[in-house]
Amino acid sequence: MIKLSNFPIKTLKTRPQISDNISTSILLQAWFIRQTMAGVYNYTTLGLKVLRNIENIVREEMDNYWSSEILMSWLSPMDIWEKTWRADIDEYFKVPTYGDKNYRLNPTHEEIVTPLMTEFINSYKDSWASVYQIQTKYRNEKRAKSWLLRGREFIMKDAYSFHITDEEFVEYYEWMKKVYMKIFERLELLDDTYITLADGWVFTEKYSHEFQVVLPIGEDEIYICDSCWTSHNKEVVDLENWFECTKCKNKDHRIEKASEVWNIFPLETKFTKPFWMKMLDANNKEQDVIMGCYGIGVSRLMWVIAEYNMKDKWIAWPESVAPADYYIIVIWEENIEKAEDFAKKLESKWKTVILDDRMWKKVGFGQKAGDCELFWIPRRIVISPKTLEQWGFEFTKRWEKSEIVNF
Ligand SMILES: [Zn+2]
């Protein structure tokens, strides 16, 4: 359990003016995050809980669908980036070391995962091999913002899959779209999420797919077909010839502002060829390996969920990511033991608990109740002399009437 007496939590009465973004200001006000510099954040106890809850939903769904978790290195030598002609990209942090050598702080992991997996992958029987990691990534952003969206340092889930034929790759790729939609459903973002066709960049002639959440302050513009709901990133819409849906050729559409939370890319053989990754087919012939990559911006997702669920003064976290299931307020020092016992009972039923046992600094009931609201904990319990007189505690589910429940 989280005991607030053990953590010097000091929620602010008003929103700090550090950020021009309201949901980030609320996260700062509630002590979920603290900024080191623009685009670089620390997560304090409750913010970390939210982040871990998001991470775990992603992890569970990836594990369910046969991708294996690994953890790759943060640093890498320059020469592996030279193999794929990506050594001199400005957005990649170079780390000087002894002599005139440089390392890279990895902004992405294709150059690490491909040689790593080459060791394991031999034949068509290894097709569908898929690994993922959840890790901090670094990007040398010129204009990092004072909110979580555009970071120099951010947490990502990146997955990579390897296939012997295009058909197998396409099957896996379509499957991964479904896994991602399942994750969106659990994060309660599904209603406003669009799989959006986007530029394939240098990797492929094909489109890549972005998962865009409609948000008024989103940084992208998406064009949604009125007829088949296919969504297109502005960058792939031929604006000179008006909009025409790439799927059904319909011209009627609406334009929405949206924020990208993840993307999936067909990488074809762009990385497997330079690293000599091959698979033997059923006739024992060497074949090129087709690769796909599947990203999710985990820290960005925290911000998108915050922005999406922002109410007047709070962020109304969905239950699946809220910092805890229960918030217990204790009145009077002699009742702490009783409250702790009750918290343990809840934990034995796999519930998470914040125990507000701040007694010594004159933190009154009003502030405790206010903090419970600001953190947006769905269930509140008050244990006080008054409730104990009735052999119970006061239980309040958000938006419902309080009631006394016996222990
Ligand atoms: Zn259409």
| pLDDT tens readout for residues 322-354 | 999 999 999 998 999 999 999 999 999 999 999
Q: How far is the CA of 224 from the centre of ligand 1 (A)?
A: 8
Q: Does any domain span residue 258?
A: yes
Whether 340 and 387 map to the same domain: the answer is yes
Share of the chain above pLDDT 90, in %: 75
Which CATH number fits the domain that encloses residue 384?
3.40.50.800
Pairing of strands 68-69, 129-138: parallel
Q: How far is the CA of 249 from the centre of ligand 1 (A)?
A: 6
Which CATH number fits the domain that encloses residue 90?
3.30.930.10
Q: How far is the CA of 123 from the centre of ligand 1 (A)?
A: 40
Q: How far is the CA of 183 from the centre of ligand 1 (A)?
A: 25
Q: How confident is residue 238, by pLDDT bands cut at 50, 70 and 90?
A: confident
Please calculate the CA angle 278-159-211 and round it to the nearest 5 degrees. 125
pLDDT for residue 20: 74
The yes-or-no verdict on residue 203 having pLDDT over 60 is no
Whether 238 and 183 map to the same domain: the answer is yes
Quickly list H helices, 207-297: none
Q: Does any domain span residue 152?
A: yes
d(CA 176, CA 155): 20
Q: Does any domain span residue 21?
A: no
Calculated CA dihedral for residues 59, 62, 65, 71, nearest 10 degrees:
-100
Q: How confident is residue 35, by pLDDT bands cut at 50, 70 and 90?
A: confident
What separation in angstroms does the CA of 99 have from each of 95, 96, 103, 393? 12, 8, 12, 67
Whether 301 and 359 map to the same domain: the answer is no
Whether 153 and 208 map to the same domain: the answer is yes
Whether 96 and 38 map to the same domain: the answer is yes
Q: How far is the CA of 191 from the centre of ligand 1 (A)?
A: 18
Pairing of strands 94-96, 75-77: unpaired
Domain count, the chain: 2
Q: How far is the CA of 247 from the centre of ligand 1 (A)?
A: 5
Q: How far is the CA of 173 from the centre of ligand 1 (A)?
A: 21
Q: How far is the CA of 38 from the centre of ligand 1 (A)?
A: 40
Look up the domain containing 72 and give its range. 32-308
Q: How far is the CA of 180 from the centre of ligand 1 (A)?
A: 22
What are the backbone angles phi and psi of residue 332, rounded to the nearest 5°? 80, 130
Whether 297 and 395 map to the same domain: the answer is no
Nearest to 157 by CA among 270, 268, 52: 52
Q: How far is the CA of 250 from the centre of ligand 1 (A)?
A: 5
Q: Does any domain span residue 207?
A: yes
Specify the pTM.
0.93
